[in-house]
Amino acid sequence: MTNCTITSDEINYLIYRYLVESGFKHTSFMFQHETHILQNSNIKTENVKPGALIHYLQKGLLYTEVEYHANEDGTEKHCIAPFSLLTPHHCKTEEDDDDKDNNDTDYSINTSLNNKLSNNKRNRKERKSDIKRERKSDKRIKKDNDESTKDSLNESEDIEVDIENSNNEQETNLISQKDIVNFVGNDTSVYVCSWNPVEPLLATGSKGTASIWTVPESPNDPIKPPIILDHKQDNKEVPDVTSIEWNPSGTLLATGAYDGLARIWNKSGQLVHVLKKHTLPIFSLKWNFDGNLFLTASVDKTVVIWDSRMGEFRQQYSFHSGIYLNNIHRPVMDVDWKDNTTFASCSTDKQILVCQLGSLKPLKRFIGHEDEVNIIKWDPESSLLASCSDDRTACVWSLDQDDPICTLKEHKKEIYTIKWCPNSTKTKILATASFDCTIKLWDVMNNICLYTLRDHNEAVYSVSFSPNGLYLASGSFDQHLNVWSVETGTLMKTYIGESGIFETSYNKKGDKIAVCFANCEH
Q: Which CATH architecture has domain 8-141?
A: Up-down Bundle (1.20)
Q: What is the pLDDT of residue 274?
A: 96
CA distances from 465 to 328, 390, 423 (A): 36, 23, 10
pLDDT tens digits for range 484-520: 999 999 999 999 988 899 999 999 999 999 999 886 5
Which residues lie closer than 8 Å to 97 by C-beta, 6 or more apart? 80, 112, 113, 116
Q: What is the pLDDT of residue 356?
A: 97
Count of residues in the chain: 522
Edge-to-edge strand ranges of the sheet holding 241-246:
241-246, 252-257, 261-266, 271-276
| Top-confidence residue, 82 or 435 | 435
Taking a C-beta distance cutoff of 8 angstroms, is the pair 197, 467 a contact? no
Q: What is the pLDDT of residue 218?
A: 84
pLDDT tens digits for range 272-331: 999 999 999 999 999 999 999 999 999 999 999 999 999 999 999 998 864 444 555 678
List % helix, strand, coil for the chain (3-state, nearest 5): 20, 35, 45
Q: What is the pLDDT of residue 60?
A: 72
pLDDT at 170 exceeding the cut of 50: no
pLDDT at 213 exceeding the cut of 50: yes
Span of 61-70, 75-84, 159-168, 176-185 with lowest mean pLDDT: 159-168
Distance CA 485, CA 152 (A): 18
Q: What is the pLDDT of residue 13?
A: 82
Distance CA 214, CA 203 (A): 9
Q: What is the pLDDT of residue 14?
A: 83
**Separation of first and last alpha carbons in the chain:** 40
Q: How confident is the model at residue 63 (pLDDT cuts 50, 70, 90)?
A: low
- Following DSSP, what letter does each residue of 314-326 receive, concatenated? EEEE-GGGG--BT
Other Cβ atoms less than 10 A from the Cβ of 115: the count is 10
311-315 own/partner pairs: CB under 8 Å, 24+ apart: 311/264, 311/272, 311/273, 311/274, 311/275, 312/275, 313/275, 313/277, 314/357, 315/357, 315/358
For 116, the enclosing helix (H) or strand (E) is: helix 106-141
Q: Which residues of 215-253 are buried (b: 16+ CB within 10 A; e: fewer)?
A: beeebeeeeeebbebebeeeeeebbbbbbbbbbeebebb
| Top-confidence residue, 171 or 19 | 19
For the chain, helix (H) and strand (E) counts, in that order, are: 6, 31
Q: Is 290 exposed, middle or buried (0-12, 13-18, 19+ CB in 10 A)?
A: middle
Share of the chain above pLDDT 90, in %: 54
Taking a C-beta distance cutoff of 8 angstroms, is the pair 503, 150 a contact? no
Residue type, 514: A
Residue type, 290: D
φ, ψ dihedrals at 47, nearest 5° = -105, 5
φ, ψ dihedrals at 353, nearest 5° = -120, 140
Whole-prediction pTM value? 0.70
Distance CA 339, CA 381 (A): 10
Q: How confident is the model at residue 387 (pLDDT cuts 50, 70, 90)?
A: very high
pLDDT tens digits for range 10-51: 888 888 888 877 767 667 777 777 777 776 656 766 667 777
Which residues lie closer than 8 Å to 313 by C-beta, 6 or more apart? 275, 277, 304, 305, 306, 307
φ, ψ dihedrals at 332, nearest 5° = -80, 120
pLDDT at 242 exceeding the cut of 90: yes
Distance CA 31, CA 13 (A): 10
Q: Is 376 exposed, middle or buried (0-12, 13-18, 19+ CB in 10 A)?
A: buried
Q: What is the pLDDT of residue 336?
A: 98
pLDDT at 475 exceeding the cut of 80: yes
| Top-confidence residue, 129 or 390 | 390
Q: What is the pLDDT of residue 70?
A: 65
